[in-house]
Structure 1
Amino acid sequence: MPLTVYSIARKMELDVEQLLTQLALETGSPAPVKGEALPQVWKSHISTDLECPSCFSTGAEMVRAGRSKTDGHVVRQAYFRFSQGSDSPGHHPFCDFSGNAPAGFIPENLVQFSTPKDGVSKAVRDLVCKGIGLGVFGQWDIRAMREWFFTQKVDSRFTVTLDPRLPAWLESFQRNRAWHYSEGLEGLTLTEEVLRVPGFNFQGAASRELTRRYRAVAQALSDRRTFVIADLGRIGKLAYDYQGQPVFDPSVLRPQYERTLALAAFICSNHDPLIRSIKTYAPLASLKNPKYLMAFAALLLFISDWDLDAAVGRFAQIATSKEQVVESLGNVMGLNPFHDFSAWAGLKALQEHPQLRAFEVPSVGVKEEMEAWIAASKKTAGL
C-alpha cells in the first residue's frame, strides 16, 4: 500500500497528513480528529484526484495512522488503499503495489527521496530539492517518467521459462571448466600408462573432459549475447520467483540504461558530496546504494529526451546553484527504471540462447561429475 500518492489537481506528491492539511486549507474546514469520519466531499475528491504512484489508477481511499490506546504512539502508518470495487478497478495487474503489498511497502524500483539513509542518498535528495526549486524539473516530470516506464513495462514483456537450476550449474561450470581448452588434445587417449605418469594432473584433465562434454555450453557463454552476465545467483532467484509469469523485457531500454550509467558515473566522479563515497577506479560500482543516483540520473535524461550533453548541462546548473535546499520539495517518489536490469537482461539472454534453450541441467553437480571422472580414471590406472 503506497504511503504517498500523486494529486492530479495539485501536480504534486502527498502523504496522508499533507493531504489532510491541503484539504483543510482549501475548504476552510478543520481536518477531522481521531475517530471522526472524513467529509463525503473529501472522500469523493480523494477517489477521483489521487493516483497510485506506480500504475496511476484512481479510486483511492485514505487509511489514517493507528495509535496505541495506552501511550498514543503510532502503531500503524497512514497509507492509501486502492481496493477493487464497483467504483474502482484497483491496481493494474502489473502494478508494483498489486497483490498483498503491506502498508509502507516501497517497491525496489521506486525511491523515496524524502527519507535519505546515508550520505549518498542525502546528496541526491539535495540535488532533487534544488532542481525542483530552480524549476529544472517538477514533481509532474517525475510522475511523467514513472508513467512512461509503466507503459514500457506493460507493452514489452516476456514469460520466464528458464530452469531456475541452470544459473547455479553455469556458475559452477564457469569455475571448473578449462579456460584454455585445446581442441588439439581432444582426441588424445588417456591410457593407463599416461594416467600413471608421476604428477599427472587429474584435476586439469577432469576440467578438460568437462569442457569437452559441454563444449556447446562453453561456446554459448563466450557468445557476445551472454558473455557479460550479472550475478548468476540473482538470475536463479528471479527465475525461481517468477517462473511461468510475464515480466518486463529490459532489452527495450538498453540505450537508456547505458546512458544512465554513464551520467551517474559522471555525477559521482564530479560532485564533491559524492566523491568521498566512491573509489576512483570504479566510481559507480563502488557506491553502496546507487539507486538514488540512478533515479536522479534517469530523471535528468528523461527531461532531456535522453540527450547526455543536455542532461549533464542540467546537472551542472543544479550543482553550481547557490539555491537554498528546501527539504520539503523532496517529498516525492522517484524511479530507478533499471533496478535489476543486468540480472533480467542476463536471464532473458540465457533463456533465449539457441544453444542453451534445449539444454537439460544434469542431475549431478559439476564438481561431483568431475570427482566421478577422476575416481573412474584412477581405478582404470590401478591407482
Structure 2
Amino acid sequence: MPITAYSNYFSREISVEQYVNLCKNENLDSDFFCRTDMECPICSVKGGTIVSAARAYSDDREIRQATFRFNNHDPYCDYSVSDNSADSQYGFRINSRKNITTFIAKLTCSGIELGIFTQQTMREFRRWLFSIKKTTSTELEVTPDAIDSIEIILNDMPQTLPYFNELLELDSLHQYSKNLKIFTPEYISKIKFFKENKSHIDDLFKLRYYLGKDGIKKIRKYYPAINQEEICQYKKAVYALRSCTLFSTENEIKKIMSCNYSTNITDAFFTYLLWVSNWNIKVAIESFIKIKAHTPNDVNLANIIGVNIFDNNYLYKSIELINTKASEIISSHVFYKPILEKEIEQLSKMSQVDSEQSENSQLPDIDF
C-alpha cells in the first residue's frame, strides 16, 4: 500500500497526514473524499481509501504508518500484487521518533518552494518509472502447477548440497552416520543423485542460490520483476548521491544502512532529484545542499515515496530461469523420486550391516 498518493483536487502527490491537513482546511471529509479524489501514484488507478496507522498497545509507539489502499491496479504496478500486504511498502514500519516520511516531505516541499521541483515534473517522473517497469520487466509464463512442483523440489533439496557434490566420496559416507547425524540414508541418497545427475540439476543450484528455501513465494508476490542490468546506470547514480548527501561520517553510513526502510524510502527521493537534474550528479548534489538548507513555509505542498526499483535482482533472474527451464527442472524430479527411494533402501541395509559388524567387532574373542 503506497504511503503517498496523487490528489486530483489538490494537484499533488502527498502522504495521508498531508492529505488530512489539506482536507481540514477545505472542510472536507478526507475519508469520504479520498474515494473519488485520490489515485495510485504509479498506475493512476482511482478509488483510494485511507488505512489508519497502527500503534503498539504497550507504549503507543507507531508500528505501521497510515497509507492509501487502491484496488484494480495495472498488472505492472508495484502495488498490483502486494497492496494488501503489511510489508508491501518498504517504509511501512516507521520509527515515530524519527519519521523518515516527514523528513522526505520537508525536502520535497523545500524543493518545490525553491523551484527545483514542480507538481508536473513529479507526475512525469512517475510515468517514467512506470514505463521502465513495463518495458524492462519479465513475468512468470509457466502454470501455477509448475511453480508448485518447483517449490516442492527446492524444499526437498538440501541447502548444503552444492558443497558436498564435488568433494565427498559417496561410497564411504554411510560409515560416518553413527557419529555424524547428517549422513542419514536419505541424505546420502540425495547427494548421490545430484552428483550423478549434475547436468540436469545445475538450474536447481542456481535457483537455490537466487531464492534460498522460501524465495519462490516472493516470486509469486512481486512479479513482474525489473531487469536490473537495464537500470544499473541509474542504480549507481542513486546510491552515490545518497552516500554523498546523507552521510558525513562512516558511523552515520553504518547506522542508516542498517535501517532498510530508511534507505529504500530516501532512494525514491534521490531518484527523483537525479531525474530532474538530468542524471548529472554534480547538479543534484548542489540542489540537495540548497534544499537541505531551506526550511519550507508550507509542509503540505507534496511528498514523494515509492518502492525501490533497484531491489530484487535475484527475482528477475529466477523468473527468467523458471520460464526457460521449468519443464527440464520438473522432469529431472520425476525420475529423481524412484531412484532416491531405491538408494535409501539400499543404504539403509548397508548401514544396518555396518552397525551389526561394528557391534560384533567389540565382542571379546572366545576360545573353544
TM-score by length of 1: 0.59
1:248 matched residue in structure 2: 224
Q: CA RMSD in A?
A: 5.4
1:318 pairs with 2:288: yes
Structure 2 distance, partners of 1:278, 1:361, is 49
Q: Contact 1:4 / 1:79 at 8 angstroms: preserved in 2?
A: yes
State the identity as a percent: 17
Q: Contact 2:51 / 2:67 at 8 angstroms: preserved in 1?
A: yes
Alignment of 1:35-54 (within 5 A): 51-54=39-42
Task: For residue 6 of structure 1, give the secondary structure of its aligned residue in structure 2.
Answer: strand
Report the alpha carbon displacement of residue 248 of structure 1 after superposing the two structures with TM.
Answer: 1.8
Report the alpha carbon displacement of residue 293 of structure 1 after superposing the two structures with TM.
Answer: 2.6
1:279 pairs with 2:246: no
Q: Contact 1:230 / 1:342 at 8 angstroms: preserved in 2?
A: no
1:158 pairs with 2:139: yes
2:313 matched residue in structure 1: 342
Q: Contact 1:167 / 1:236 at 8 angstroms: preserved in 2?
A: yes
Structure 2 distance, partners of 1:181, 1:279, is 38
Task: For residue 125 of structure 2, give the secondary structure of its aligned residue in structure 1.
Answer: helix
Q: Contact 1:263 / 1:312 at 8 angstroms: preserved in 2?
A: no
1:6 pairs with 2:35: no
1:215 matched residue in structure 2: 198
Report the alpha carbon displacement of residue 292 of structure 1 after superposing the two structures with TM.
Answer: 1.0
2:246 aligned partner, one-letter code: H
Q: Contact 1:166 / 1:361 at 8 angstroms: preserved in 2?
A: no
Aligned pair in 2 of structure 1 residues 175, 332: CA closer, same or farther (>3 Å)? same
Q: Contact 2:106 / 2:295 at 8 angstroms: preserved in 1?
A: yes
Structure 2 distance, partners of 1:317, 1:56, is 29
Aligned pair in 2 of structure 1 residues 4, 288: CA closer, same or farther (>3 Å)? closer
The answer for unaligned runs of 5 or more in structure 1 is: 25-30, 66-76, 84-89
Report the alpha carbon displacement of residue 279 of structure 1 after superposing the two structures with TM.
Answer: 3.0
Alignment of 1:65-76 (within 5 A): none
2:260 matched residue in structure 1: 288
Structure 2 distance, partners of 1:274, 1:119, is 19
Candidates 201, 224, 229, aligned match of 2:210? 229
Task: For residue 150 of structure 1, give the secondary structure of its aligned residue in structure 2.
Answer: helix
Structure 2 distance, partners of 1:178, 1:79, is 45
Count of residues paired in the alignment: 324
Q: Which has the higher helix share?
A: 2
TM-score by length of 2: 0.61
Aligned pair in 2 of structure 1 residues 137, 92: CA closer, same or farther (>3 Å)? same
Aligned pair in 2 of structure 1 residues 312, 236: CA closer, same or farther (>3 Å)? farther
2:159 matched residue in structure 1: 174
Structure 2 distance, partners of 1:150, 1:330, is 23
Report the alpha carbon displacement of residue 176 of structure 1 after superposing the two structures with TM.
Answer: 3.0
Q: Contact 1:94 / 1:154 at 8 angstroms: preserved in 2?
A: yes
1:73 matched residue in structure 2: none
1:378 pairs with 2:363: no
Structure 1 distance, partners of 2:208, 2:286, is 36
Q: Contact 2:108 / 2:302 at 8 angstroms: preserved in 1?
A: no
The answer for unaligned runs of 5 or more in structure 2 is: 53-64, 358-368
Task: For residue 305 of structure 2, give the secondary structure of its aligned residue in structure 1.
Answer: strand
1:352 matched residue in structure 2: 323
- What is the CA deviation profile of residues 74-101 of structure 1, one whole-angstrom value per residue up to 9, with x for unaligned ones? xxx9998979xxxxxx754655666996
Structure 2 distance, partners of 1:79, 1:140, is 23
2:139 aligned partner, one-letter code: F
Q: Contact 1:195 / 1:378 at 8 angstroms: preserved in 2?
A: yes
